[in-house]
Structure 1
Amino acid sequence: MTIISSQIVINIDEEKVLADIGYNGNCGPPARMRTLVHEYARNATQLINPAYTHVIRNIDFVVGRTVYIEGGSTFKSHVISGLLKNCEQVAVFALTIDSYLEEAASQLADDGLVVQARVLDAIGSNAVEQVAEHIHKMITATASIQGLVTSQRFSPGYCDWNIVQQEMLFRTMNGSSSFIKMTDRYLMIPQKSISGIMGIGTREDDVANYNPCKTCERQGCAGRR
């Protein structure tokens, strides 16, 4: 089921937006940049139209790096199988803030207003992450009522979970994610969209606290948690 929700309150974190566009550490933003971010953040809400869907599926069994999901889907990843082998269910979700904001940012860039376009793009990234956090809390609250815990969110393209598995993830949702399209390179349209999974189970240490980054030796990884 697709939910178009105006009830998700988006409060743009202006400090995170500034950090996203390069102002962090010892490099503080000039006053005019703070003003620009503040004005765009205040007005961007009219360009944000959150929509999301999620399904809960039983995990049939796990063999090696392959997870067999109720309905015939398979997820193939050592990181994902390491999580889901300790879970009874998996939540599969997709969400977006729609395309209005990215279209506005594209128009700004076409008009030569590159800085403004970059600011608006960063605001969109902050907004879609807030929608993802809303969905995470909602799924976690539902699981908690049943005495279950949830994991962090994981998306195709993270660690060893190949981006081509995006197609399998969407198939698992049985068409309920029709408000998001997928390109032949498995990218999502609108671009300000997130898809992924959350494990659901009973074991706090193996589910809620599961973090493959703690044992990963890869250096300089932008996705490290």
Structure 2
Amino acid sequence: MSLPEGPLVLADPALAIDPDEVLRFQGYKRGRDVPGPDVRALFETALAEGRRLMRPRALVRWARVTRVAADALEVEGESLAIPRIGALWGEVEHAAVALCTIGEALEQRVAELWEARELPLASMLDSVGSGAVESLAEYVNDVLCQQGLPSLKVTNRISPGYADWDVAEQRRLFRLCPGDAVGVVLNEACVMTPGKSISLLAGAGRAARVDHYFSQCARCWMRDCAYRRVPARATVHR
């Protein structure tokens, strides 16, 4: 199996933005809170505006893993301190670093709406942007899985700042995969610009652990994959 060499840009994939995910960012609890017609109408307005403004892009780079420890992963000389990574991923041989963004136009429009005191639309549009970049990250994870087939199992994504992985580790990811090609930069506080951006890491290996806490296949967008392990519940791509 030969993984792609060098950085690869994925440009303008068509993303399915989950209304429930957007409403979750608005504070609604799935199955408990039922938004009224006015909220649904506001969502549709914000979604249309968001689709006009966003420019989804992702930069992906595969790298060789040189050491796996209980709480660390060494990738091409960069030692990533990730709690419990050895137990979570098992023996991975490769790691993919990816930077996902929807660009800055949506954020600029949100700022304009706040300035104009159009607060409900500003808030909903911001949530649409958050839902969109999450959908993009899921899409990228699925692309990585397809790149690993048939020989390599690919893990679910993780990101600095989540699940006890220190956000300061962003610097190491950016050294492995600089964001210039997709216009993503990192400041001294390890915050990315544009703000609607996600950095992620996924592992791959013949003996990688992939289904012990969530099945990757359950939400993969590939309809006719010969290697599917469980039926898809939904798709992030159409």
Which bin holds the TM-score, normalised by the shorter protein? 0.7 to 0.9
The corresponding residue for 1:51 is 57
Q: Whole-Å Cα distance in 1 between the matches of residues 86 and 165 of structure 2?
A: 10
2:157 aligned counterpart, secondary structure: strand
Percent identical residues:
27
Q: Whole-Å Cα distance in 2 between the matches of residues 59 and 43 of structure 1?
A: 41
- Shift in CA distance, 63/129, structure 1 to aligned 2, threshold 3 Å: closer
- Shift in CA distance, 12/159, structure 1 to aligned 2, threshold 3 Å: closer
The alignment's TM-score, normalised by the length of structure 2, stands at: 0.79
Amino acid of the structure 2 residue aligned with 1:67? L
Q: Whole-Å Cα distance in 1 between the matches of residues 147 and 99 of structure 2?
A: 17
The corresponding residue for 1:221 is none
Alignment counterpart, residue 192 of structure 2, candidates 188, 193, 200? 188
Amino acid of the structure 1 residue aligned with 2:56? P
Determine if the alignment matches structure 1 residue 103 to structure 2 residue 105.
Answer: no
Contact 1:91 1:197 in 2 (8 A): yes
The corresponding residue for 1:30 is 36
- Point out where structure 2 has 5 or more consecutive residues left out of the alignment: 1-6, 215-238
Contact 1:53 1:177 in 2 (8 A): yes
Superposition deviation, residue 200 in structure 1: 0.3
Determine if the alignment matches structure 1 residue 90 to structure 2 residue 92.
Answer: no
Contact 1:94 1:177 in 2 (8 A): no
Alignment counterpart, residue 163 of structure 1, candidates 153, 161, 167? 167
2:156 aligned counterpart, secondary structure: strand
Q: Which structure has more helix as a fraction of its residues?
A: 1
Amino acid of the structure 2 residue aligned with 1:124? G
1:125 aligned counterpart, secondary structure: helix
1:199 aligned counterpart, secondary structure: strand
The corresponding residue for 1:13 is 18
Alignment of 1:30-179 (within 5 A): 30-70=36-76, 72-145=77-150, 147-174=151-178, 179=183
The corresponding residue for 1:223 is none
Q: RMSD of aligned C-alpha atoms?
A: 2.1
Superposition deviation, residue 10 in structure 1: 2.1
Q: Whole-Å Cα distance in 1 between the matches of residues 53 and 179 of structure 2?
A: 25
- Shift in CA distance, 26/208, structure 1 to aligned 2, threshold 3 Å: closer
Superposition deviation, residue 175 in structure 1: 5.6
- Shift in CA distance, 114/77, structure 1 to aligned 2, threshold 3 Å: same
- Residue by residue over 1:142-173, the C-alpha shift from the partner in whole angstroms, topping out at 9 and shown as x without a partner, is 1013x111111000112221111100011011
- Shift in CA distance, 14/178, structure 1 to aligned 2, threshold 3 Å: closer
Determine if the alignment matches structure 1 residue 200 to structure 2 residue 204.
Answer: yes
The alignment's TM-score, normalised by the length of structure 1, stands at: 0.84
Amino acid of the structure 1 residue aligned with 2:194? P
- Residue by residue over 1:158-194, the C-alpha shift from the partner in whole angstroms, topping out at 9 and shown as x without a partner, is 2221111100011011565561111211011111101
